[in-house]
Amino acid sequence: MTTETAARTLPRVTPRSFQHAGLLVVLVLIVAYAGVATDSFLSSNNLINVLRQVSVVAVIAAGLTLLMTAGGMDFSMGGNVAVTTAVAAQLLAHGRPAWLTLLVSIALAIVIGLVNGAVVTFTGVAPFVATLATATLLDGVALLVIDGMSVSIGEHLSTLGNGRTLGLPNLVFVAVLVLGLTALVMRYTTFGRDAFAIGGNEDVARLSGINVVRDKLLLYGLAGALAGLAGIMLLSRLAASSPGTGGLQLQLTAVAAVVIGGTSLAGGRGTVGGTVLGVLLLGVVANVLNLLQISSYYQQISVGAVLLIAAIANLVRRRRH
Amino acid sequence: MERTAGMRAEEAVLRVRDVTKSFGGAAALKGVSADFLPGEVHALMGMNGAGKSTLVQILSGVLSPDSGHLEIGGHTPRNPRQARRLGVSVVPQRRELVMTLTVAENIMLGDLPTSGPVVRWRSIRQTARDALHALGLEIDVDAVAGDLTVAEQTMVEVAREVRRGGRVLILDEPTACLGPEAATQIRELVTRLRDSGVAVVFISHHISEVLGLADRITVLRDGRVTWSGLAKETDERGLVRDMVGRDVVSRRPARTAEPSEVGLSIRRLCQGRFIEDFDIEVRRGEIVAVLGPAGDAQSRLFDLLSGRRRPESGTVSIAGRAIRSGSIDRSLAGGLRCVTGDRRRLGLIPGLTVDENLLLAQDRLDRRKLHRWGRLAERAAPLRDDYRVVSLVRNPPVEQLSGGNQQKVLLAKWLGTGPAAVLLEDPTNGVDVAAMAEIHTLVDALAAEGVAVLLASSSAEEVMRLADRVVVVRDGRRVAEHRVDDITRDELIATTLGGALR
């Protein structure tokens, strides 16, 4: 890129970073409070642990950001994670090599995503309804695969789950890579801009020569692939697949992170930057409440409250324009 | 010539005095005064951005003025609810009916008669019927609002506001995008409202319409009143000068070469009751207008040509090659570009920037994979210049532009893609005189380049200005075809309305 074009791009970038100023301030305040209120929050061990924990949600949220920007929704990514971890755990437990396990489980996750995409695109069922149905279905399938028991994978995938490079967990590198690529795709590829166009006005997108059907299938397929990757990451971290791994709770956390980050449920607006802040905010809040030894009941209540406040704040900000 | 209104100020039901309003340093209204009298049609005119909508928002209590004051029968409303209680209602350009409810329910909305918790249906329907009859309207109260024509929806809204006790009715471009017949019905309704003692505030870009209908006219330019007085004291040229600040000349250019090759040809196109056996042939460099089909039939033509919908039968060909019907890709690949008259629904993507909207179609036609912002700005620049798209900041989301500028972005988006044939649907919809003249010049230039232009318009003036030939359509069938040079505007309107030509 020449200096001249870089200079032209610059004025557009500045207001975008301001867009999340409020969220950033909230995050900094919570971090500051946690630093004062607890001894251990700011220890490098704890911070690294937070990052390691949020990396799975971050990968799901990245896919969801792109999909929701295009006006889509996939409520079954958590279910997809559950199925992927279950299948991968069984394959590894039965002595299959890691590469085959990865290949099979991610291929399966992509197929699940494509099925969602096909249902949404060709039948016109609302994405929320269609994927809520598959979510329930997948949660059941996951239980079937592990037969309702915990399946351990021993030392398999431990390089991914517990390994570190340059002092940071490998899981974090995977998440950063996925988020970075998603951000680049959304901003610098026609496919990414198509997502904004489809989410902004699907009719106009179609009339402008955008292949909406292909794009939607790709978007749901990609969401599936990232759910599969998140499943592998989760399995590597937990070293076992148990009933309740993944599923709706994970899904709701990811949706909450994306919405807190300012991505519109109606489509047409979304940024990876916001999603990163949303993921970190939820991760930090959960960690702080843990350190303060607050009951998990209150943790759920506080996550719900954060989501509600953020959603309202996003609307208020938009109205002011 | 400044402000002659106010002579009969004591009778005014609504008056504004020296109203000023700024938004973040930019003054939208500067010392505006006006009086609105009962039994009078008072037209507000001005270019896009002259301050009309700000004034309307102040009149209806949505905004409060920075200085100056507003008075309705001795009271000053602080919000839209108070304004409405004092009798000021707005019928906005976008219809505000609940499209899934019946006409009767819409008229009675928020004020449903009940016995205890039970809704009294008979009373609803009777009151609604009376409200419509009082205005001389024949609309079925049991019809679902979404099934009505745009003109009928406007009428229902007017009836609702009058029933609620509206003494000042602000009609924001009620005839935009209506065919001649429907526009006439709305104008008749306005006349009846005036005769019943309502103060009507009428907003329109159509100068001839305003001159024929309004008793009093106030012209705004850059937030100031540049002229106000009785309609009979001014004329078209004076109004244009007051609105634009200079004369605007827009005349049909003499077409030099006699066009020969057929550019766009439509054969025996059928779609339900909207389009029956429709034939038309547009040669390269020719502008042919289809006048008459407003609303459904017009958008049906757009759907069929753009490939959004498959016709029941018939063919469309570009330069002799038939296009497979019902495919947007084939239609685009064939060189046909369809520019919608419904910018919001089918034209632009509001949240994307001006540059992205300008190149939305071109980039997809080029099958670009990467989106390079620097290059995008470079390629969009000539389009912005050619189509004179003006924006305050360099590249805002397109939704922040004025209506006229959005319309220019829409035209540039499609006409900049090297079309062989073009369908233009009401290309100057909601656009001020100056922008209208610019857009007309652009369409002239398009034809001069050898593009076959099919113009689907609801305005006889626009047809007379742009077209070489005009095909008049009524009830989905073509009823007449004329060379524009051989017919006058009034004869053309008479044909559309079904009157016989001498």
Q: Is residue A11 part of a domain?
A: no
Residues 6+ apart with CB under 8 A from B219: B45, B46, B225, B226, B227, B228, B239, B242, B243
Using the 8-state DSSP alphabet, how is residue B181 labeled? H
Distance between CA atoms of B460 and B291, rounded to whole angstroms? 7
Q: Is residue A293 part of a domain?
A: yes
State whether B374 and A12 contact (CB < 8 Å): no
Is residue A219 within 8 Å of A66, Cβ to Cβ? Answer: yes
What pLDDT is stored for residue A22 in this prediction? 80
Share of chain A above pLDDT 70, in %: 92
From the CA of A85, how many Å to the nearest CA of chain B?
Answer: 34
pLDDT reading at B6 higher than 50: no
pLDDT reading at A231 higher than 90: yes
| Residue whose pair of structure tokens reads 């996939």 in the numeric block | A74
| Position B330 confidence tier, pLDDT thresholds 50, 70, 90 | very high
Of B88, B42, B92, nearest in space to B213 by CA:
B42
From the CA of B393, how many Å to the nearest CA of chain A?
Answer: 10
pLDDT reading at A320 higher than 60: no
A contacts of B337 (beta carbons < 8 Å): none
Nearest Cβ partner for A6 among B347, B370, B374: B374
Distance between CA atoms of A52 and A283, rounded to whole angstroms? 10
Reported as a single tens digit per residue, the pLDDT across B141-196 is 999 998 888 888 989 999 998 888 889 999 988 887 777 778 888 999 999 999 99
- In CATH terms, B262-497 corresponds, of 3.40.30.10, 3.30.70.1560, 3.40.50.300, 3.40.50.2300, to 3.40.50.300
Q: Which of A204, A206, A211 to mutate to test the interface with B (most CBs of B within 10 A)?
A: A204
From the CA of A273, how many Å to the nearest CA of chain B?
Answer: 18
pLDDT reading at A303 higher than 80: no
Can you give the C-alpha Rg of chain A in angstroms? 20
Of A257, A189, A185, nearest in space to A225 by CA:
A185
State whether A5 and B348 contact (CB < 8 Å): no
Reported as a single tens digit per residue, the pLDDT across A195-224 is 999 999 999 999 999 999 999 999 999 999
Q: Is residue A281 part of a domain?
A: yes
**What range does the domain containing A46 cover?**
20-31+39-320
pLDDT reading at B476 higher than 80: no
- Give rounded-to-5 percent helix, strand, coil for chain B: 35, 25, 35
Average pLDDT, stretch A88-109?
94
Q: Which residue of A has its CA nearest to B361?
A: A208
Distance between CA atoms of A59 and A233, rounded to whole angstroms? 9
Residues 319-358 of B with CB under 8 A from A: 328-329, 332, 338, 340, 345-353, 356
Residues 6+ apart with CB under 8 A from B274: B293, B296, B297, B300, B476
Average pLDDT, stretch A138-145?
95
| Position B469 confidence tier, pLDDT thresholds 50, 70, 90 | very high
What CATH number did the domain enclosing A257 receive?
Answer: 1.10.3470
Count Cβ–Cβ pairs < 8 Å, chain A vs chain B.
87
Sequence ranges of the domains in chain B: 9-244, 262-497
Reported as a single tens digit per residue, the pLDDT across A240-259 is 999 988 888 899 999 999 99
DSSP alpha helices (H): ranges in B52-108? 52-59, 80-85, 103-108
Reported as a single tens digit per residue, the pLDDT across B217-268 is 999 998 999 999 999 999 988 998 998 888 877 778 877 656 678 899 999 9
Reported as a single tens digit per residue, the pLDDT across B202-225 is 998 888 889 999 999 999 998 999
CATH superfamily of B9-244: P-loop containing nucleotide triphosphate hydrolases (3.40.50.300)
| Position B489 confidence tier, pLDDT thresholds 50, 70, 90 | confident
Distance of CA A310 to the CA centre of its chain: 17
Using the 8-state DSSP alphabet, how is residue B309 labeled? S
Write the DSSP assignment of A183-215 as a string of letters: HHHHHHBHHHHHHHHHHH-HHHHHHTT--HHHH
pLDDT reading at B54 higher than 60: yes
What pLDDT is stored for residue A135 in this prediction? 95
pLDDT reading at B78 higher than 90: no
pLDDT reading at A12 higher than 80: no
Does residue B146 or residue A16 have the better pLDDT? B146
pLDDT reading at A318 higher than 70: no
Reported as a single tens digit per residue, the pLDDT across B290-306 is 887 555 667 788 899 99
Does residue B130 or residue B115 have the better pLDDT? B130
Average pLDDT, stretch B39-52?
89
E strand or H helix that includes residue B154: helix B150-163
Same fold, B9-244 and B262-497: yes
Domain count along chain A:
1
Q: Is residue A228 part of a domain?
A: yes
Average pLDDT, stretch B317-332?
90
Out of B1-5, B362-366, B448-452, least confident range:
B1-5
Cα dihedral B359, A69, B395, B177 in deg (nearest 10): 70
Using the 8-state DSSP alphabet, how is residue B93 labeled? S
Distance between CA atoms of A171 and A174, rounded to whole angstroms? 5
State whether B371 and A193 contact (CB < 8 Å): yes
State whether A209 and B332 contact (CB < 8 Å): yes
What pLDDT is stored for residue A313 in this prediction? 74
Q: Is residue A27 part of a domain?
A: yes
A contacts of B369 (beta carbons < 8 Å): 189-191
What pLDDT is stored for residue A310 in this prediction? 76
| Position B49 confidence tier, pLDDT thresholds 50, 70, 90 | confident
Distance between CA atoms of A237 and A245, rounded to whole angstroms? 11
DSSP alpha helices (H): ranges in chain A? 3-18, 21-37, 44-69, 77-93, 98-118, 127-145, 158-162, 170-188, 190-200, 202-207, 212-238, 247-260, 272-291, 296-320
**In b/e form, how buried is each residue of B327-358, taking b as 16+ CB within 10 angstroms?**
ebeebbebbbbbbbbebeebbbbbbbbbbbbb
B394 shares contact with chain A (CB less than 8 Å): yes
What pLDDT is stored for residue B498 in this prediction? 65
What pLDDT is stored for residue A9 in this prediction? 36
Burial of A245 (0-12, 13-18, 19+ CB in 10 A): buried
A contacts of B413 (beta carbons < 8 Å): 208
Share of chain B above pLDDT 90, in %: 43
What pLDDT is stored for residue A14 in this prediction? 39
What pLDDT is stored for residue B224 in this prediction? 92
Distance between CA atoms of A148 and A139, rounded to whole angstroms? 11
pLDDT reading at B19 higher than 70: yes
Nearest Cβ partner for A189 among B328, B364, B371: B371
| Residue whose pair of structure tokens reads 């309705």 in the numeric block | B72
CB B132: neighbour CB atoms within 10 A? Answer: 24
State whether A189 and B369 contact (CB < 8 Å): yes
What pLDDT is stored for residue A4 in this prediction? 35
CA B414-B415-B418 angle, 5° bins: 105
State whether A208 and B371 contact (CB < 8 Å): no
What pLDDT is stored for residue A321 in this prediction? 47
Distance between CA atoms of A61 and A286, rounded to whole angstroms? 17
